[in-house]
Amino acid sequence: AGLGGRGLPSEDPESLYLMLRIVEEAWHHGLTSVPNGLYDPDESLEAMLAAVSPEAAEKLLPRVLHGPPRPFDAMNMGTNAIVAVDERGMIAHGTHSATSTPFGVGLMVDGVIVPRPVTLFASPMVKMPVGWATSLLAVRDGRPVFTAGSPSISALQNVFQNAVNVLERGMTPGESVRQPLFGASLYPSRRPMTEATMGEHTISAVQDRGLPLHTVSPWEPEMGSCHALAFDPDGTIHAAADPRRLGRAAST
C-alpha cells in the first residue's frame, strides 16, 4: 500500500484509513482461509501457508483500496509480551496470558506456561483468523532486523503499526512506541479505538469515509504495549518498552 512513502497516520488521514482497512481485510481473510474456519494441522497447513503468503496480500490490496469498511468483533484477553536477544544473537519473542482460569491453560511444559491463545485457536466457540499473532520477527537478507510483541485485544494492531514505523518509516523502537495508535474495538462496539492524539482532523476525515472510530485518551492501555528490538547492520541494538503499560528495556 506504499505506507512508507506516506505521512504519519496522525498527519495523513489516508495513512490511518489504509492501515485500519488493512487490519479489517486481513482479519476477515484469515477467518475464511481454512476449512470450517478452524485450523487443523493435518488438513489446513497448505491452506494456512497460502493464506499468509505475499501473493495473498497482493490479492487483498484491491479490497483495501476500493472496498467498503468491514468492522469485526474484537476479543477480551490479557497478556504479557517479552522479546530478548543473547550475546550469540539468538532471539526469543512471544507473549503469555494469565487471565483465564486456571493460570494460562493450566498446563506447563518445562516450566513454561502454555499461552491462552492456544485455547482460542483450538476452541470451536471462538473463531480466530489465520495469521493472527501477538508477536513478530522480521528478517532481511537472512538477518533479524526487528522483533516485537504486545499484549491486549489490540496486539495485532499494535505490532502492525510499530513494524510499519520501524521497517517502513525508519524510526527506532523508542520513537515508534510514542506515536499515537489505533486499536481494536471494545466489545460489543465494533468501532476501532483511536487515541485522541491522532488529531481531530485525521479522525474526522476517516469517519467521513464511512469508517467510524471510538476516540479514547492518549496512552490507552487497551492499545497494547509494544516491547521491541531493532538491529542495525553494525550490530547495534535498539530496545524499547511501550509507555502505555508497565514494562522496561534492559541489558545484562
Q: Is 1 part of a structural domain of the chain? A: no
Residue 17: pLDDT band (50, 70, 90) is very high
Based on the structure, what is the number of domains in the chain? 1
pLDDT higher than 90, residue 61: yes
pLDDT higher than 70, residue 71: yes
CATH code, domain with 140: 3.60.20.40
Residue 53, domain extent = 7-241
Q: Is 247 part of a structural domain of the chain? A: no
Q: Is 249 part of a structural domain of the chain? A: no
Q: Is 250 part of a structural domain of the chain? A: no
Q: Is 162 part of a structural domain of the chain? A: yes
pLDDT tens profile 26-49:
999 988 887 665 556 666 778 888
Q: Which residue type does 119 have? A: T
What is the arithmetic mean of pLDDT over 213-228? 95
Q: Is 122 part of a structural domain of the chain? A: yes
Q: Is 2 part of a structural domain of the chain? A: no
pLDDT tens profile 76-91:
655 678 899 999 999 9
Q: Is 97 part of a structural domain of the chain? A: yes
Q: What is the pLDDT of residue 111?
A: 65
Which residues are bridge partners to 80 per DSSP?
96
Q: What is the pLDDT of residue 159?
A: 96
In the predicted model, what is the mean pLDDT of the chain? 86
Q: Which tops the pLDDT comparison, 195 or 108?
A: 195
- Could you give the percent of the chain with pLDDT greater than 90? 64
